[in-house]
Amino acid sequence: MAAADDGAPLIAVYVLDDETPGQWKRGGASRWWLHHSLESLGADLARHGVTLILRKGRADSVIRQLAREADAQAVYWNRCYEPFARGRDTKLKDALKDEGIEAHSFNGSLLAEPWTLKTRDGGPFRVFSPLYRALEPTLDNVAPLPAPKRLNGFEGGLASDALESWKLLPTAPDWAAGFGEVWTPGEDGAHKRLCAFVKDRAKDYADTRNLPGVPGTSGLSPHLHFGEISPRQVWARVVADVPAGKGRETFCKELGWREFSYHLLYHYEDLPEANYQKKFNQFPWGFDAGAFKAWTRGQTGYPIVDAGMRELWATGWMHNRVRMICASFLTKHLLIDWRKGETWFWDTLVDADLANNSASWQWVAGSGADAAPYFRIFNPVTQGEKFDAGGEYVRRWVPELKDLPAKYLHAPWDAPEPVLKRAGVSLGSTYPKPIIDHSTARERALAAFSSIKEAA
């Protein structure tokens, strides 16, 4: 908007930066989304007379070179909040100014800048609820800016990479073949998803968001991550069009949790790699390669866990309630370091987001800010029975159990042999036996937690 209002010819550019030190390079699922998002963006800009320039390399160097080629007078961008990106962009801004080029950055990704929300003592928030109480009053009159009426495209010839040359899409095998049935990357897809959510599901969000077998969530997380829609657009639309009530309130708080994750990452830059609670540096993590492989493939023998991990592989996404169950299983049943799970999700989620991914994994593991107590160990059986009572979710993603009665679906080992036989289930053959006993795992996890409490 600001660049368009300037009146000068516009050059739109996206830089694929895999070279700036300190970054988490995009995982496979994110690269799939990026390819299609750039296709959509390029087409949208072309309809307005602007060509999207694609270049690869260190973003600060590429932008400076492009500015020289075009004799640009100003550069505009939306801020990034990852630690490596903040340092890079600060250096870029200084370098551009040294060359007499104006540099302007804006908030297009958050409801509020992380440095504007402070405790009474002037420090960062460590707990969600006080942060949300500070954030909410600032959003009473959120109104997204209107789209520019026209764009003035730059007419000079500038070299651009072909999107296909970046090889963002998987080929052999094409493990993302099913993603397109679920997702439509791009601004148009984002707004259609928001409209459907507001119209059909938002008012019931508080009741349905934890039920993986029904379409109760917004599905906006990848669109938000890739900047195809802003949280302010989402907030404003929901507040304007969804009746006041528990559904609207709960959804707005979920947007608040996203802000909290970015707040933490901004103020605690090592959040993706280091335990927020330092006592967890003494936690006795282990690593069983076979158990980890079973978890990644959805072969743990716990149906709700396996359903989630298979949904992730097939769609690049997992229902949030099931994410918590799967993360708890890895860190507390298997005692595998949360960073192993964080890395797996980073590679397989289309909404892989450094702030949300790291903060959420630490929350579940018990090592994070405002974390779930470590002794809160999700029982995958009772979680399945509570949130997938009819078994719609498990039957979809674990079809080898689809003919089991709901009574046994979440604990097939409890089913009598005749019931298993009628359902075509042979434990250890057609479906794995549990790789660990829940009671045994719980006792082991509690003992591990006690050891670090004593050490602290």
Instruction: Go through the domains of the chain in sequence order and give each one's CATH number.
Output: 2-106 (3.40.50.620), 109-143+187-267 (1.25.40.80), 278-455 (1.10.579.10)
pLDDT at 306: 98
Q: Is 115 a catalytic residue?
A: no
pLDDT number for residue 455: 61
Q: Which of 361, 363, 379, 397 is catalytic?
A: 361
443 a catalytic residue: no
From the list 19, 39, 187, 254, the catalytic residue is: 254
Percent of the chain as helix, strand, coil, to the nearest 5? 55, 5, 40
Q: Is 257 a catalytic residue?
A: yes
Reported residue count of the chain is: 456
What is the rounded distance in angstroms from the CA atom of residue 442 to the CA atom of residue 451? Answer: 14
For the beta carbon of residue 428, count every other beta carbon within 10 angstroms.
9
The answer to whether the Cα torsion of 218, 224, 229, 235 is positive or negative is positive
Question: CA torsion angle for 88, 36, 230, 235 (degrees, to 10)?
Answer: -150
DSSP secondary structure, 358-414, as one string: HHHHHHHHT-STTPPPTT----HHHHHHHHSTT-HHHHHH-GGGTTS-HHHHT-GGG
CA distance 328 to 183: 27
Catalytic residue among 285, 385, 392, 413: 285
Question: pTM for the complete prediction?
Answer: 0.96
Helices 303-315 + 380-387 axis angle, to 10: 70
Residue 77 falls in the annotated catalytic set? no
Looking at residue 454, what is its pLDDT? Answer: 66
pLDDT at 4: 84
Instruction: Output the tens digit of pLDDT for each of the chain's 456 residues.
Output: 788 887 889 999 999 999 989 999 999 999 999 999 999 999 999 999 999 999 999 999 999 999 999 999 999 999 999 999 999 999 999 999 999 999 999 999 999 999 999 999 999 999 999 999 999 999 987 778 888 888 999 988 899 999 999 999 998 889 999 999 999 999 999 999 999 999 999 999 999 999 999 999 999 999 999 999 999 999 999 999 999 999 999 999 999 999 999 999 999 999 999 999 999 999 999 999 999 999 999 999 999 999 999 999 999 999 999 999 999 999 999 999 999 999 999 999 999 999 999 999 999 999 999 876 767 899 999 999 999 999 999 999 999 999 999 999 999 999 999 999 999 999 999 999 999 999 999 999 999 999 987 665
Asked whether 297 and 309 are in contact (CB, 8 A), the reply is: yes
Phi, psi of 414 (to 5 degrees): -85, -10
